[in-house]
Amino acid sequence: MEKLFHLQFSRGIAIICFMITGNGDIGDRERPICAATGKGVALTRSFVAAILFALSISGCRTDSGADDARLSATAGKLRLAVDASIAEAADAQAKIFAAHYPDAVVSVTPELTGKTLLTLLKKESGAALLNGSLLPEEDSLLAHPRLGGRKEPVARDALICIVNRNSSLDSVTTGALGAVLAARKSSKAEFVLWTARNDYRLLATLRQLLGTGNTTLHAMQTDSDSLLVEKTAADPLAAGLLYLSAWNTLSLPEKTRNGIRILPVASEKAGSSAVMPSEQYIYDGRYPLATIVYYIYIPGNPLAAGFGSWLSREGQKGFERSYLAPFRQLPRTIILK
């Protein structure tokens, strides 16, 4: 029985890695960005959840990302897995935390969005910072009594739609984005949507924000956010979807960045107007593609808990000074003379 379990476990890892990294196809061609529908997506989600749960309780690793036996809420070493687009902000927060608590070292490891949570469940990291929506199966997994995972909202980001500077589009609605993604053929559309390949978290977040359910989504794909921007800058019909944090941290030639516009986005609610992804509009919910950054850890690591508590309170000032928006409104002090 033990040999069978480990065989199934190994196959599960291989399948998850295949799902996250893709099949190696390259080239600019239209293909589904989430191909399962109906029973198929339900089976896929259930299978992934089962494999993730096996990873979390298998005991195949004893390393929880805590490298110091003398851990406390403000001392020791912690490995923090983060989605790559928010790695810069996470690293800045880790340095501020270490400045306040010199006995604490938080090392930030950028990951593909499909692997960030996985590293925590495999106990390769002590905590994770995720940008966007979790699947219900992932939330159920974290809430399982064997894990008791904690998920704390700590910051805000947004998905943005970028277009060529010469595009005819002045704004876009969430309904229009959903319709183009759900259409198998895009020849009659005003624009062609592009995404970066294998951005698992972005796709899950798109489904939640656009309310597409289990509809198969279609888009053109590039191999990275940088190539996505380059493609959009070169094609007046292209529209790219990516995180605002990714846009703000990409190293791009000035000519490429100047060839891009960020579109205002409107929801389908009556009276809704298209707005830009400003920090205020992201914070108050008027920007309809706003996302939440979650800090996730499994109880038992005091430094992971301490760092998460700090991010939720004192760390909000650091997020306000970064390219992310704080999750909580910071109090303002007005001095009257």
Give residue 240's pLDDT.
Answer: 97
The values of phi and psi at residue 85, to 5°, are: -65, -20
Question: How far is the C-alpha of 19 from the C-alpha of 38, rounded, in Å?
Answer: 18
Instruction: Report the alpha-carbon distance of residue 67 to residue 125 in Å, rounded.
Output: 10
Alpha-carbon span 262 to 250, nearest angstrom:
15
How far is Cα 48 from Cα 213, in angstroms, rounded to an integer? 18
Alpha carbon of residue 116 to chain centroid = 9
Count CB-CB contacts under 10 A for residue 19: 16
Tokens of 187: 């020849």
- The pLDDT of residue 146 is 83
Question: Which pLDDT score is estimated for 16?
Answer: 41
At residue 168, the pLDDT reads 93
Rounded distance, CA 176 to CA 188, Å?
13
Tokens of 262: 């960020």
pTM: 0.82
Q: What is the pLDDT of residue 57?
A: 56
Let me know: does 237 contact 191? Beta carbons within 8 Å.
Answer: yes
For the chain, the C-alpha Rg in angstroms (whole number) is 21
Which residues on adjacent β-strands are paired with residue 30? 220
Compute the distance between CA of residue 177 and CA of residue 182 in angstroms, rounded to an integer: 9
Structure tokens at 282: 């992201």
**pLDDT confidence of residue 35:** 42
In this prediction, residue 184 carries a pLDDT of 59
Residue in the structure block whose two tokens are 């790559």: 84
3-state secondary structure of 256: helix
Alpha carbon separation from 38 to 43, 180, 308 (Å, rounded): 9, 20, 37
> Regarding the domain delimited by 76-148+299-326, which CATH topology (the fold level of the hierarchy) does it fall under?
D-Maltodextrin-Binding Protein; domain 2 (3.40.190)
Predicted pLDDT of residue 7? 29
**pLDDT under 70: residue ranges of the chain:** 1-70, 184-189, 330-337
Distances (CA, A) of 149 to 2, 9, 73, 324: 26, 21, 17, 24
Residue 103, C-beta contacts closer than 8 angstroms, at least 6 positions apart: 74, 75, 76
Residue 308: predicted pLDDT: 97
Domains 76-148+299-326 and 156-284 share a fold: yes
CATH number of the domain located at residue range(s) 156-284 in this protein:
3.40.190.10
- Where exactly are the structural domains of the chain? 2-22+31-57, 76-148+299-326, 156-284
Q: Are strands 217-222 and 192-196 parallel, antiparallel or unpaired?
A: parallel
Q: How many residues are present in the chain?
A: 337
User: Encoding tokens for residue 219?
Assistant: 């888009």
**Interatomic CA distance for residues 326 and 282, integer angstroms:** 10
What pLDDT, on a 0 to 100 scale, did the predictor assign at position 52?
59
